[in-house]
Amino acid sequence: MNKAELIEAIANGAGLSKSQSDSALNATINAIKTELGKGGGVSLIGFGSFSVGKRAARTGRNPFTGAALKIAARKVAKFSAGADLKAVVNGEKKVGGAKKAAPKKAAPKKAAAKKKK
């Protein structure tokens, strides 16, 4: 699924136009980027958590020459899947997109008895 297909799925699932869905998706992505840029994290219960990790400086090798290279320390974005997402991926649970309608209650017997008179 690419971004355009995701926007269409959001539009269909939320009853929004494609332009509204595009704006919502872009706002969500920008909010996550902003928080990670500050060094914080974003937790979406059931889906997963975005966080910032640190990668230490290390020595690597140039694959062509075999010469040693110094690789600088840097920060990296990390994602940890939540329990619900893991269950869906493993086929243990289905995505709960549609809510079930509440069952209709039968008319009380007293009301039905009064109507017969």
Q: What is the pLDDT of residue 108?
A: 57
* C-alpha separations of 93 from 35, 87, 89, 96 in Å: 30, 5, 8, 9
* CATH code for the domain of 48: 4.10.520.10
Residue 117 falls inside a structural domain: no
**Which residue range is the domain that position 60 belongs to?**
40-95
Residue at token pair 């971004």: 3
Is the pTM value of this prediction over 0.85? no
Q: What 8-state DSSP symbol labels residue 45? A: T
Under 8 Å CB-to-CB from 43, ≥6 apart: which residues?
A: 49, 50
Strands 48-55 and 74-81: antiparallel
Please write the tens of the pLDDT for every residue from 53-62: 999 999 999 9
Under 8 Å CB-to-CB from 13, ≥6 apart: which residues?
A: 97
Please write the tens of the pLDDT for every residue from 8-30: 999 999 999 999 999 999 999 99
Please write the tens of the pLDDT for every residue from 58-114: 999 999 999 999 999 999 999 999 999 999 999 988 887 544 444 455 555 555 555
Residues 32 and 54 in one domain: no
